[in-house]
Structure 1
């Protein structure tokens, strides 16, 4: 499994655990990827998980 695939799997698991369902996690992942593309630099692992925490409601900006 590539590093990118591992990160995607970890993000999906995080979202499923925080939101309680695969459907909600899928929706959250779409939001994460949209927000990650809004920046002017490529997303790194830490930034993606910060966005995930925001989207899942477990982190205050």
Structure 2
């Protein structure tokens, strides 16, 4: 997967859905979090995060 071609949140969401379909839920969640971060509408960002189950896997400093 070449992330350099990802320019929009939808690119990350599509990839996240592919990861779910291929049995990679952890990677799907990380891609969904990135999509949510790139979304300007907070309600849409919440919807994206809720679509992909699991807790955040990011480590905060």
**TM-score (norm. length: structure 1):** 0.31
Kindly indicate which of the two structures has a greater share of residues assigned to helix: 1
Normalising by the residue count of structure 2, what TM-score does the alignment of the two structures yield?
0.31
